[in-house]
Amino acid sequence: MNPLTDLIQVNIPFTMLSKTHLDRFIKHRLNPEIGFDAESLDAYPFSHMEAVSGRLRDAGLSITFHAPFMDLSPGSPDSKVRELTRHRLLQVIRLIPLFRPRTVVCHTGYDHRRFWHIRDLWIDNSLHTWSRIAGEIRSGGARMMLENVYEQSPNDMIDLLENLKDFGVGFCLDSGHQAVFSTAPIPEWIASLGPYLGQLHLHDNCGNQDEHLAMGQGCVDFRQLFELVMAISPARPVITLEPHKEEDLLLSLRYLKNLWPW
């Protein structure tokens, strides 16, 4: 049987991976979910990206991407903001042939508190943005995943997923974000968006802040989550651990080992 680390991804910003953690990921055979931000996309030449990707591929590691999201808004009523959003996402897409990621996780950017009064416009703008991006990602051999962040319920995402299903777009359920920002319980999320579920982001918190604690250190009911996911399909989604401290990775691995249903 494969070690648990062979079956999951571990999040890591590209700058951190490149500067200090590449050898460690390779040595310990940790599959990276590489997070790209504006700084990393602008600071590193293509040749450097090629060198890092080559080492990861030579090591036989599985790779997933997390696209940039800070200050980006794919559904913004401001065309210049949407233009910048597309630019940043296309910067990541050009790296797909190098790294060959399985998935590219993207934030929808929706926040009910900001966009409730222009929701229909925001959805239309988002679909225009995501249709192009999802098509490019699919053409590159990866699958785009839309992740919940500030969404209050699955109703805030269902229109996007239904209208992007022809591009194979999936749903990435983030356990920590659901616990902090959602007013809908986990069973409601799974019942509504289960058919699109393709990835899980696993981290914990106490329900007040997006703390990215180790699994089992907060209020998230991971046993219930896994039972609900298994009930809709025995197939294993892509699973990413998102610790913000190295010691939390070890705690999450120990915790996950006792619950692992696949």
For the chain, domains (ranges, CATH) are 4-259 (3.20.20.150)
- Backbone φ, ψ for residue 68 (5° rounding): -65, 150
How confident is the model at residue 234, as a pLDDT? Answer: 87
Rounded to the nearest 5 percent, the helix, strand and coil shares of the chain are: 55, 15, 30
With a pLDDT cut of 70, the percent of the chain lying above it is: 99
How confident is the model at residue 2, as a pLDDT? Answer: 67
Mean pLDDT of the chain: 97
> Using one digit for the tens of pLDDT, what is the confidence trace for 62-84?
999 999 999 999 999 999 999 99
Beta bridge partners of 147: 107, 172
> Using one digit for the tens of pLDDT, what is the confidence trace for 31-60?
999 999 999 999 999 999 999 999 999 999
> Using one digit for the tens of pLDDT, what is the confidence trace for 227-239?
999 999 989 999 9
Supply the DSSP symbol for 95. Answer: T
* pTM, two decimal places: 0.97
> Using one digit for the tens of pLDDT, what is the confidence trace for 167-210?
999 999 999 999 999 999 999 999 999 999 999 999 999 999 99
